[in-house]
A = this chain, B = another copy of it.
């Protein structure tokens, strides 16, 4: 059995390190079937998703993972649920965020891609 916790935690560490240094480099982690819901806005496919992520209006960003829960799911996928803090530009107070990733096995059976991605700031 796959160690789903390792798969999930390694994915999110790689994801946020890449996000915080070069968002365009996240493209290989998505497929043309991937979906992103970012604060209500829906994007379909890696091109739209990367366009959205690149358009976010901050210069510097740092994600800090507070909790990361993983579960195996259907078709050998992994669901990863992260809560954390987001440091943006010169802002002193971190924003709280929560994000869900559904990692699906690549069509060639090797490794995972992000099939579902849902992001929310915890406000309201």
Listed in ascending order, the chain A residues whose CB lies under 8 Å from chain B are 35, 37, 40, 66-67, 69, 71-75, 77, 79, 81, 83, 96, 98, 100, 102, 104, 115-116, 118, 120, 122, 124
Question: B102 near A66 (CB under 8 angstroms)?
Answer: no
Question: B116 near A73 (CB under 8 angstroms)?
Answer: yes
Please, which residues of chain B bring their CB within 8 A of the CB of A71?
Answer: 35, 37, 116, 118
> What separation, in Å, do the CA atoms of A118 and B80 have in the docked complex?
9
| Nearest-Cβ distance from residue A79 to partner chain B, whole angstroms | 5
Question: B96 near A66 (CB under 8 angstroms)?
Answer: no
Please, which residues of chain B bring their CB within 8 A of the CB of A40?
Answer: 67, 69
Can you report 6 A-B residue pairs in the complex whose CB atoms are below 8 A from each other?
A: A67-B120, A73-B102, A74-B102, A79-B79, A81-B120, A100-B100
